């Protein structure tokens, strides 16, 4: 039997190698305990490449091809082809993130640009080279708060509108630290200031808010929330995203000490993958988790990019590192930077304006239909909104699925609709389907 | 190479010094030399109470990050903010302008259990 490009060793090659090391068979090279061994059969026959392609295509053909109006943290924006074209170049698409300044000035510069874009959008002077996702960024913000001296306390206050998955990550992440997560009530889709005032006390370590929120509303009281946090020596963390921040006032200018969230740009909306943004104040520079790229000079005095302040990180500081994120999603950050740069400031603002108009128009059209009211909250919205239904929302969602649309039921009589430039072409069809289903 | 070890101070095996007259604490000439160029110093909060061997701060150099431990117990009354802008003072003048923190000592007797200049020198 001859080898293949994917498994190049023939049986002869294998036996020669086994002879050379004095071992009877491949099994003898491994020492895997019996209880964890899989001794079944994977039931995979070898096939030719075209046969495998056909088989997998047939399998994927079984998927429902639904038009999605889903959001709640994961958004589909059109990724320009330049993003693939550049990011798939072999200098960029490597199996391990390239950080060595001697050989990878290009990648380091791209990451520096990514950080710079976030500094501009967040209004905060320091941004790291990314976290895993918005949820881990939120959790790292809580740990940052526990490290800095001007915030003391144990309670992290999280609004009711934040979706459970994000809160669950936060709770898991801070387990073992002296940190408790507490929920604060909302009023018409944004944080209830009275409830916050009642909940905040000397034990408050951090106050967290989102804008846009998980329910699509714009949080109108960020500055006020920040003041309440700061009056109680608590840190103020805000989640947003680069598209929203292109049009909203920069959270840093409203008193946010940390901005987290999802980069949204650069990747297709698939499998729940995110890219966590993380920006903070200069004072907290040495407490920032994750990688930081800085500008220095080489021995000839030329500008050079390099990892900086690595003494925060676990390969230097071991168990006392600021966080155990030592690598990150640098390639995704690169794609985000290319996407943002290709839109440019004007393109980002145009996109953001669309994200205000599209849900406003869809909500108004839904509201005109019998059996559905939209939006539930009398607020400005971004990308998405919640609608109230007379019939049970889960039944309507199931009927819409039969019609080819994915819409999420978020409560007994609440549906959430998300609309961006990638699904707006299907709005009329969706409206027709809703009218039919609700009637 | 010989290091400066002032006569009026007490020392620890981990290379901190304390001045019982002023309550000032720092790291020794030997320690700054071992660390190399200091780039950052992290302090406790003024008003914090430290027990003996509590972490008093962190000194970061281009080579390493070192925790500094309090040789004695007391309340922090001042930190050397000059080091925030000029951490190199710690290299240049570890017993003078490069002091780290000032404590209001709980008891002046505690220094008796520390190393004398002679004892410290003999362990280098």
pLDDT, position A4: 76
Closest residue, chain A, to B67 (C-alpha): A320
Q: How far is A209 from chain B (nearest CA, A)?
A: 29
A·B CB contacts under 8 A: 10
- Asked if B45 has any chain A CB less than 8 Å from its own CB, the reply is yes
- Asked if A316 has any chain B CB less than 8 Å from its own CB, the reply is yes
Which residues on B lie below 8 Å from A320 (Cβ)? Answer: 65, 67
Do A117 and A242 touch, CB atoms closer than 8 A? yes
pLDDT, position A274: 85
**pTM of the entire structure?**
0.87
Encode chain A (439 residues) as per-residue pLDDT tens digits: 566 788 888 889 999 999 999 999 998 999 999 899 988 888 888 888 999 999 999 999 999 889 999 999 999 999 999 999 999 999 999 888 888 999 999 999 999 999 999 999 999 999 999 999 999 999 999 999 998 877 789 999 999 999 999 999 999 999 999 999 999 999 999 999 999 999 999 999 999 999 999 999 999 999 999 999 999 999 999 999 999 999 999 999 999 999 999 999 999 877 677 899 999 999 999 899 999 999 999 999 999 999 998 878 877 777 778 887 766 789 999 999 999 999 999 999 999 999 999 999 999 999 999 999 999 999 999 999 999 999 999 999 999 999 999 999 999 999 999 999 999 999 999 999 999 999 7
pLDDT, position A186: 96
Residue written as tokens 């949080």?
A: A219
Residue A200 structure tokens: 């905040």
How do beta strands A408-411 and B16-18 pair? Answer: unpaired
pLDDT at B36 over 80: yes
Do B116 and B8 touch, CB atoms closer than 8 A? no
Q: For testing the chain A interface, which of B56, B65, B85 should be mutated: the one with the most A CBs within 10 Å?
A: B65
Which of A371, A382, A380 shows the shortest CA–CA distance to A417? A382
Closest residue, chain A, to B41 (C-alpha): A286
Do B45 and A149 lie within an 8 Å CB cutoff? yes
Do A317 and B65 lie within an 8 Å CB cutoff? yes
Asked, as a colleague might, if the bond just before A212 is cis with ω within 30 of 0, I would say yes
Q: For testing the chain B interface, which of A147, A148, A149, A322 should be mutated: the one with the most B CBs within 10 Å?
A: A149
- Asked if A315 has any chain B CB less than 8 Å from its own CB, the reply is no
- Asked if B69 has any chain A CB less than 8 Å from its own CB, the reply is no
3-state secondary structure chain A: CCCCCCCCCCHHHHHHHHHHHCCCCHHHHCCCCHHHCCCCCCCCCCCCHHHHHHHHHHHHCCCCCCEECCCCCCCCCCCCHHHHHHHCCCCCCCCCCCCCCCCCHHHHHHHHHHHHHHHHHHCCCEECCCECCHHHHHHHHHHHHHHCCCCCCCEEEEECCCCHHHHHHHHHHHECECCEEEEECEECCEECHHHHHHHCCCCEEEEEEECCCCCCECCCCHHHHHHHHHHCCCEEEEEECHHHHCCCCCHHHHCCCEEEEECCCCCCCCCCCCCEEEEECHHHHHHCCCCCEEEEECCCCCEEEEECCHHHCHHHHHHHCCCCCCCCCHHHHHHHHHHHHHHHHHHHHHHHHHHHHHHHHHHHHHHCCCCEECCCCCCCEECEEEEEECCCHHHHHHHHHHCCEECEEEECCEEEEECCCCCHHHHHHHHHHHHHHHC
- Asked if A294 has any chain B CB less than 8 Å from its own CB, the reply is no
B27 forms beta bridges with B16
- Asked if B113 has any chain A CB less than 8 Å from its own CB, the reply is no
- Helix boundaries (H) for B1-124: 29-35, 82-85, 89-92, 117-123
pLDDT, position A192: 97
- The rounded distance, in Å, linking the Cα atoms of A81 and A266 is 10
Do B65 and A149 lie within an 8 Å CB cutoff? no
Helices A330-367 and A105-122, packing angle to 10 deg? 40
Do A316 and B40 lie within an 8 Å CB cutoff? no
pLDDT at B92 over 70: yes
Estimate to the nearest angstrom the gap between the alpha carbon of B6 and the chain centroid: 13
SS3 (DSSP) at B101: strand
Task: State the average pLDDT over residues B87-106.
Answer: 96
Q: How far is A151 from chain B (nearest CA, A)?
A: 12
């Amino acid at each position: 039997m001859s080898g293949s490009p994917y498994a190049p060793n023939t049986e002869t090659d294998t036996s020669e190698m086994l002879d050379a090391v004095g071992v009877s068979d491949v099994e003898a090279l491994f020492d895997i305990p019996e209880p964890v061994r899989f001794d079944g059969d994977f039931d995979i026959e070898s096939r030719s490449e075209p046969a495998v392609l056909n088989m997998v295509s047939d399998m994927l053909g079984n998927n429902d091809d639904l038009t999605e109006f889903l959001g709640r943290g994961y958004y589909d924006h059109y990724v320009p082809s330049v993003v693939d074209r550049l990011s798939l170049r072999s200098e960029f698409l490597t199996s391990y993130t390239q950080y060595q300044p001697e050989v990878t000035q290009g990648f380091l510069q791209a990451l520096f640009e990514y950080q710079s874009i976030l500094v501009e959008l967040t209004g905060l002077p320091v941004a790291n080279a990314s976290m895993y996702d918005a949820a881990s960024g939120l959790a790292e913000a809580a740990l940052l708060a526990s490290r800095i001296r001007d915030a003391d306390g144990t309670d992290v206050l999280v609004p009711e509108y934040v979706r459970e998955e994000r809160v669950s990550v936060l709770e898991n992440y801070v387990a073992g630290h002296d940190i408790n997560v507490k929920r604060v009530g909302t009023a018409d889709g944004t944080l209830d200031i009275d409830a916050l005032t009642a909940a905040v006390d000397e034990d408050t370590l951090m106050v967290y808010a989102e804008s846009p929120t998980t329910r699509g509303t714009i949080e109108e009281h960020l500055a006020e929330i920040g003041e309440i946090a700061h009056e109680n020596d608590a840190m103020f963390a805000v989640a947003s995203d680069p598209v929203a921040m292109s049009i909203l006032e920069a959270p840093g200018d409203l008193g946010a000490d940390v901005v987290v969230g999802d980069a949204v740009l650069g990747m297709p909306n698939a499998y729940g993958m995110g890219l966590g943004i993380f920006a903070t104040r200069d004072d907290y520079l040495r407490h920032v988790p994750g990688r930081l790229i800085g500008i220095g000079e080489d021995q000839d005095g030329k500008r050079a990019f390099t990892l900086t302040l690595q003494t925060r990180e676990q390969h230097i500081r071991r168990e006392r590192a600021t966080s155990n994120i030592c690598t990150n999603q640098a390639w995704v950050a690169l794609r985000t930077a290319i996407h943002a740069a290709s839109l440019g400031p004007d393109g980002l603002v145009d996109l953001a304006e669309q994200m205000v108009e599209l849900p406003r128009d869809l909500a108004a059209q839904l509201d005109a239909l019998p059996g559905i009211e939209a939006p539930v909250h009398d607020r400005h919205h971004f990308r998405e909104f919640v609608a109230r239904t007379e019939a049970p929302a889960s039944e309507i969602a199931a009927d819409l699925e039969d019609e080819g649309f994915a819409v999420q039921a978020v409560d007994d009589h609440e549906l959430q609709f998300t609309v961006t430039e990638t699904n707006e072409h299907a709005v009329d069809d969706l409206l027709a389907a809703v009218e039919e289903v609700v009637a | 190479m010989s290091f400066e070890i002032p006569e009026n101070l007490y020392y620890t095996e981990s290379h901190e010094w304390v001045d019982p007259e002023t309550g000032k604490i720092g790291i020794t000439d030997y320690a700054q030399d071992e660390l190399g160029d200091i780039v950052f110093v992290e302090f406790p909060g003024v008003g914090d109470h430290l027990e003996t061997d509590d972490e008093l701060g962190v000194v970061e150099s281009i080579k390493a990050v070192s925790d500094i431990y309090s040789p004695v117990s007391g309340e922090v009354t001042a930190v050397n903010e000059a080091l925030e802008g000029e951490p190199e003072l710690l290299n240049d003048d570890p017993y003078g302008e490069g002091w780290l923190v000032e404590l209001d000592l709980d008891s002046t007797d505690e220094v008796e259990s520390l190393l004398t200049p002679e004892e410290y020198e003999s362990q280098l």
